[in-house]
């Protein structure tokens, strides 16, 4: 016998409470102002977040009624003591809900009263019934809504779509979030580092920890001209709202002693400065992924090595001096190694690969490894030999998910390749 108990109802309603269905009752707004519950600022670059309306799930209304299916005549006959115990549990639900009763007539058992529904006159009664801190959450939510209503009402549509987000923040954090949004609105595109943000009790760590919610709130509170929608995601928070981003850095190893700036052989500089370096005597540039491999390269006349960039070479488009240098890209022999080569060659078409061939792969079979998440995309900027090997890798023609990491290549083969390169 399966009868819906008060505990079953509590469990089901508590799940709906955690989704915010009932807290939305505290914020009755027009549907066209409501946001998609899972929308994240910046997911649709080019359009303000508040220009993407979406209806949230219907909000329950009060009085709120949960019907209870009565037992069948057969269940009454075969399990009458259990039915009596089930009905008695509805008498013990406390002061929160009202229980509707109906008379159940049975040929042998006569007339018995059984619960027909459990009703809640208000959200307060429902919270008392749910227990588990629901009443305290309701009180905190009301306080937070009152603060937003007074100081930052533009956020109320978002608060309705994600009510529990408000409860994730203490009163102090909520105040600091509002202060931050109000300051940015009064000082659009400030052009300062986050470290310089002059908001009391708001530091860089606070902003970085709360970037997701701040992005959602700023997109609602700021006029469209104050947001750069070309940038999205937490990592681009600075650029999206006009703060000065941390400079991107480039690590460079000088392979020719005569080219060392101020005597340094290994330097890390802002990428923008690297792009404007324009050393006339640099003839060759080696681009590598692995730092240990780059640090172990032997001296090479007229050469420098840059390393550790992965897919992040976008800013190098401004390094015009690289167009007159010989460029050699050396990455892992796996699908992503070739994908990075393809990406780099889109910027500098004259780039040649180094030690990314079938001979090198076959010579190191004992060092073969497994690529965790291979890519399968087409790479149009590979040359014919590179494309053949890439296709063998992405279609698992040699071995599934095969990779050879560059740091596992025998050093004598590296020396030989550089010797042949230099003629």
The pLDDT of residue 113 is 81
pLDDT at 160: 85
Top-level class of domain 249-422: alpha beta
Whether the CB-CB separation of 275 and 316 falls below 8 Å is answered with yes
Cis amide leading into 313 (omega within 30): no
pLDDT under 50 in the chain at which residues? 29-56
Q: Provide the pLDDT for residue 38.
A: 38
Reference 396, options 330, 335, 331; nearest CA is: 335
Q: What does 314-357 look like in DSSP terms, one character per residue?
A: GGGGG-GGGGGSEEEEE--BSHHHHHHHHHHHHH-TT-EESS-S
Residues 343-395 have pLDDT tens digits of 999 999 999 999 999 999 999 999 999 999 999 999 999 999 999 999 999 99
Residues 191 and 286: their CA atoms lie apart, in Å, by: 35
Chain segment 185-213, per-residue pLDDT in tens: 999 999 999 999 999 999 999 999 999 99
Angle at 220 between CA 215 and CA 226, to 5 degrees: 75
- pLDDT score of 28: 63
Q: Is the full-model pTM beyond 0.85?
A: no
Q: Domain boundaries in the chain?
A: 6-25+58-130, 134-240, 249-422
C-alpha 9/C-alpha 94 separation (Å) is 14
Considering only CA atoms, which of 181, 185, 205, 182 is closest in space to residue 195? 205
> Rounded to whole angstroms, how far apart are CA atoms 255 and 53?
56
Residue 80 has what pLDDT? 80
């Amino acid at each position: 016998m399966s009868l819906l108990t008060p505990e079953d109802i509590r469990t089901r309603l508590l799940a709906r409470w955690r989704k915010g269905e009932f807290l939305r009752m505290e914020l009755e707004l027009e549907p066209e102002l409501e946001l998609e519950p899972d929308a994240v600022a910046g997911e649709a670059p080019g359009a303000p977040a508040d220009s993407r309306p979406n209806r949230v799930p219907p909000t329950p209304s009060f009085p709120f009624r949960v019907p209870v299916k009565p037992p069948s005549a057969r269940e009454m006959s075969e399990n009458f003591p259990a039915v009596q115990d089930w009905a008695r549990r509805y008498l013990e639900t406390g002061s929160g809900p009202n229980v509707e009763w109906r008379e159940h007539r049975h040929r042998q058992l006569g007339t018995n009263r059984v619960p027909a529904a459990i009703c809640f006159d208000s959200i307060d009664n429902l919270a008392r019934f749910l227990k588990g801190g629901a009443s305290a959450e309701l009180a905190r939510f009301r306080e937070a809504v009152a603060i937003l209503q007074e100081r930052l009402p533009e956020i109320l549509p978002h608060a309705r779509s994600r009510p529990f987000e408000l409860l994730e923040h203490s009163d102090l954090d909520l105040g600091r979030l509002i202060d931050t949004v109000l300051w940015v609105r009064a000082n659009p595109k400030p052009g300062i580092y986050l470290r310089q943000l002059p908001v009391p009790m708001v530091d860089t760590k606070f902003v970085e920890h709360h970037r997701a919610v701040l992005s959602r709130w700023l997109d609602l509170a700021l006029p469209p001209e104050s947001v750069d929608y070309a940038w999205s995601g937490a990592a681009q928070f600075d650029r999206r709202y006009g703060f000065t981003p941390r400079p991107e850095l480039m690590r460079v190893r000088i392979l020719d002693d005569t080219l060392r700036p101020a005597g340094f052989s290994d330097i890390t500089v802002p990428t923008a400065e690297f792009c404007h370096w324009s050393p006339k005597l640099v003839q060759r540039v080696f681009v590598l992924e692995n730092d240990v491999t780059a640090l172990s390269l032997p001296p090479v006349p007229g050469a420098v090595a840059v390393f550790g960039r992965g897919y992040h070479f976008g800013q190098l488009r401004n390094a015009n001096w690289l167009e007159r240098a010989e460029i050699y890209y050396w990455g892992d022999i796996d699908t992503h190694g070739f994908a990075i080569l393809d990406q780099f060659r889109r910027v500098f078409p004259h780039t040649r690969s180094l030690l990314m061939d079938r001979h090198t792969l076959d010579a190191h079979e004992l060092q073969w490894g497994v690529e965790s998440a291979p890519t399968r995309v087409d790479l149009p900027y590979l040359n014919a030999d590179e494309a053949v090997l890439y296709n063998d890798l992405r279609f698992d023609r040699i071995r599934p998910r095969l990779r050879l990491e560059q740091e596992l290549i025998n050093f004598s083969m590296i020396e030989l390749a550089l010797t042949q390169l230099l003629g």
